[in-house]
Chains A and B, each alone.
Chain A
């Protein structure tokens, strides 16, 4: 399959992004502190997405717990799934304990390395450490080889991973379809390695950010960007560094509610399934 390299599509809203992500897709997602598109995650739940396979780059949190609890997920590959200071990810924990989803345990640098292999178009890459961990035996696709350049040196290789879709939130997109990710370069890595990339952005900017030498180093070029949609406060209740912080109270509220199935469903009804989430986004944005 050839990768798209034509013009970036400007989409109406996060729901239009959700309609373009097929059931069963391998979805590359950033960690909670690196701006998942919560607006698009909510839209995927409203769409009733099914059988998604989530790749945590390198870990996951609220975004995955919501998708899992809402029944959108068949499989997770990640180095961890947790809500950080707010504790365990309750819907993930229950789904794995009840064998409702498949879990492929990884470790952070292995995920990064596997995506970097795809960026370079090579079939695998080696990395140090990890030997002796039960992670290796749990993964049919990781191999221990003898270093071909120095005998007697066992080393792990991991296969390249190519997600079907990269999905995240960012601060700006411009008229040329470029997206500014700033220092959050893992967002660029996920986009580089994925077949398609959908981004929700806080704001559209006029012009072309590649012509601004100060902005250009933080830009993900439009060649990687399939579609963009505006979503103000699109990372809420997570943070968009430099624009708004984590809504810690909302995270605590989620962590408490999601401990039970009924509490989780009530959370979805209040903040995801209805238009209330959008209104809260608006309120948080001071409109």
Chain B
């Protein structure tokens, strides 16, 4: 069995969740989702990746509004969002909590509605982050029927577990726990209630062939845009 970094497990898990997408967009400061997208691109050259902050060869020529215009028309299948807080109704908070200020909502209040679907992603899995109710709704997890909304959450991936979103029940369901963890630990570290099967599977480990791709061509691509991250995970430097 090969060893792997936690970030590699997360990237491979995201890649499985969005393997059927035709167009994946990646926003600010999201090296792990970007890693997943570039891994998929190697297997599916037809996949379109729009990396908002791509330093060289950026896909946009109309300025940063083009990402939102694309999404508004339904041309983006998958987007990624995180949160200083995420609650059990999939609301996300990027603004403030417990007297602390965070950077701000970015495009979340729009992209959560407009992208075909959104993967919620946050490495920290704690009761501080996964709360019963967010202190501030940057973007709501669901909307009443009268509100036009194309997409919403598909899944919530953390450093410890994977949850799916159940749109009809407006609740998360625990799908798997990452290697080394337990269902009890996830229950203890999660501030909101969620559904879970009687036996919770272990998150599938990265395959050796995927790890080889990550450490080779994907690392080179990521280092161009997320040099700090690439240095930390793969000790690779941007050319």
Contacts and interface: CB of A to CB of B under 8 A. Distances in A.
Nearest to B65: A112
Given A84-B28, A107-B107, A185-B62, A246 B147 contact: no
A36 B14 CA distance: 34
Most A-side CB within 10 Å, residue of B103, B107, B147, B148 = B103
Contacts of B226: 85
A239 B58 CA distance: 14
B64 A153 contact: no
Contact of A133 (B53, B61, B140): B140
Contacts of B66: 185
Contacts of A88: 102-103
Interface of B, helix, strand, loop or mixed by DSSP:
loop
B48 interface: no
Nearest to A94: B101
A248 B227 contact: yes
Contacts of A241: 55-56, 58
Contacts, number: 153
A135 B138 contact: yes
B194 interface: no
B68 A82 contact: no
Contacts of B139: 132-133
A190 B198 CA distance: 56
B94 interface: yes
Interface residues of A, number: 53
B187 to A, nearest CB: 28
Contacts of A105: 95, 104-105
Contacts of A186: 63-65
Contacts of B69: 109
A78 interface: yes
B29 A109 contact: no
Interface stretch (A6-14, A123-131, A274-282): A123-131
Interface of B: 28-29, 31, 53, 55-56, 58, 60-66, 68-69, 72, 94-95, 99-114, 136-140, 143-144, 146-149, 226-229
Interface of A: 31, 33-34, 58-59, 78-82, 84-86, 88-89, 92-93, 96-97, 103, 105-110, 112, 116, 127-135, 152-155, 183-189, 239, 241, 245-246, 248
14 contacts: A85-B31, A108-B110, A110-B110, A112-B64, A112-B68, A128-B110, A130-B110, A133-B109, A153-B146, A154-B146, A183-B61, A183-B63, A184-B63, A239-B55
Given A59-B104, A108-B65, A188-B63, 14 more contacts: A59-B103, A82-B29, A82-B103, A85-B31, A88-B103, A105-B104, A107-B138, A108-B110, A127-B110, A128-B113, A130-B109, A133-B139, A135-B105, A241-B58
